[in-house]
């Protein structure tokens, strides 16, 4: 179930966190499609595992009719006292385009995360998912050590679009990315074509960016693949304060070529 109402993010100050909020990131695409569907499927997998999830969606713009993060940051008085909270049966999705851009423009000490200001509002949740364009994610994730996810469509156009996003991410942060290529159908031929596309992307990134990119092929018809992707993102989730929740590995886009980590 997807709940887009503002009430789910309001009145969260009364909740006490049981664990530190984990930050996941999914790069949005210019043309919403399978990537957006994959985002909801991954979030649903996390919900089924018992993690209350809130999504800040930078592809959605806040308004008086559809309030979101921007209104939370302004601490609009009308949201006080609204009933709401986190649970593992519904997914809170907030429009966040204005609010997330505002976070990147706020003056703060260099060692302070841009996401620090929003942490008190989501203490009732276990996982915060940022869904935003790669340039915006790059500015928001500078202190989190989160590994962003990029969903790659099939064909040469998908490779080019994903490479562009990787390049944009490399310009803002040294974080590596996970690229999930979608496999249509269950045939061997389709999977082979997907793996070839991933190899092409890896070669381009290694040659021109000198950075690390983790890759995986995900069958859109296989729930186990989607759950595996959700667990992989969870293992590589960071926190607002910069620590890695599970895996302690750290990778970057260095100035010299580096060997790519391949995970098919």
CATH number at residue 103: 3.40.50.300
- Confirm if 110 and 136 have CB atoms less than 8 A apart: no
Selection from 9, 199, 196 nearest residue 86 by Cα: 9
pLDDT of residue 7: 42
Q: Would you say residue 259 lies in a domain?
A: no
DSSP 52-99: -EEEEETTS---SSS--HHHHHHT-GGGTT------SSSEEEEE-HHH
Q: Would you say residue 95 lies in a domain?
A: yes
Q: Would you say residue 119 lies in a domain?
A: yes
CA–centroid distance for 98 within its chain: 17
Q: How many domains does the chain have?
A: 1
Q: What is the pLDDT along the chain (264 residues), one digit of tens a residue?
A: 344 444 444 433 333 344 789 999 999 987 767 788 899 999 999 999 999 999 999 999 999 999 999 999 987 544 443 335 566 567 899 999 999 999 999 888 888 899 998 988 898 999 999 999 998 998 999 888 899 999 998 778 889 999 998 988 887 767 789 999 999 877 788 889 999 999 999 999 988 888 778 899 999 888 999 999 999 999 989 998 765 554 333 444 443 333 223 333
Q: Would you say residue 260 lies in a domain?
A: no
pLDDT of residue 86: 61
Q: Would you say residue 30 lies in a domain?
A: yes
pLDDT of residue 24: 97
Q: Burial level of 127, CB count in 10 A (0-12/13-18/19+)? A: buried
Q: Would you say residue 246 lies in a domain?
A: no
pLDDT of residue 220: 85
Q: Burial level of 77, CB count in 10 A (0-12/13-18/19+)? A: exposed
Question: Token digits for 53?
Answer: 């999830």
- Confirm if 238 and 145 have CB atoms less than 8 A apart: yes
Q: Would you say residue 256 lies in a domain?
A: no
Rounded Cα gap, residues 99 and 71, in angstroms:
8
**Structural domain boundaries enclosing 17:** 2-239
Selection from 14, 94, 22 nearest residue 59 by Cα: 94
Q: Would you say residue 257 lies in a domain?
A: no
Q: With b meaning 16 or more CB within 10 Å and e meaning fewer, what string describes 85-99?
A: bbeeebbbbbbbbbb
Q: Burial level of 20, CB count in 10 A (0-12/13-18/19+)? A: middle
pLDDT of residue 1: 38
């Amino acid at each position: 179930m997807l709940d887009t109402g503002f009430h789910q993010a309001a009145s969260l100050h009364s909740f006490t966190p049981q664990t530190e909020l984990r930050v996941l990131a999914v790069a949005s695409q210019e043309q919403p499609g399978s990537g957006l569907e994959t985002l909801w499927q991954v979030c649903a997998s996390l919900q089924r595992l018992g993690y209350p999830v809130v999504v800040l969606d930078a592809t959605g713009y806040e308004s008086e009719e559809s309030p979101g993060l921007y209104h939370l940051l302004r601490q609009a008085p009308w949201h006080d006292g609204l009933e709401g909270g986190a649970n593992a049966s519904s997914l809170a999705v907030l429009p966040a385009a204005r609010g997330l851009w505002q976070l990147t423009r706020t003056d703060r000490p260099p060692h302070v995360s841009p996401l620090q200001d929003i942490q008190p509002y989501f203490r009732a949740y276990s996982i915060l998912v940022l869904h935003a364009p790669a340039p915006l994610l790059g500015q928001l994730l500078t202190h989190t050590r989160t590994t962003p996810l990029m969903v790659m469509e099939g064909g040469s156009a998908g490779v080019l679009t994903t490479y562009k996003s990787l390049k944009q991410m490399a310009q803002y942060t040294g974080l590596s990315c996970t690229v999930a290529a979608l496999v249509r159908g269950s045939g061997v031929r389709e999977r082979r074509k997907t793996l070839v596309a991933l190899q092409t992307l890896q070669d381009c990134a290694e040659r021109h960016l000198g950075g690390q990119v983790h890759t995986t092929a995900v069958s859109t018809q296989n729930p186990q693949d989607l759950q595996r992707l959700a667990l992989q993102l969870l293992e590589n989730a960071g926190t607002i304060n910069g620590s890695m929740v599970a895996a302690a590995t750290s990778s970057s886009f260095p100035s010299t070529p580096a060997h790519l980590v391949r995970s098919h």
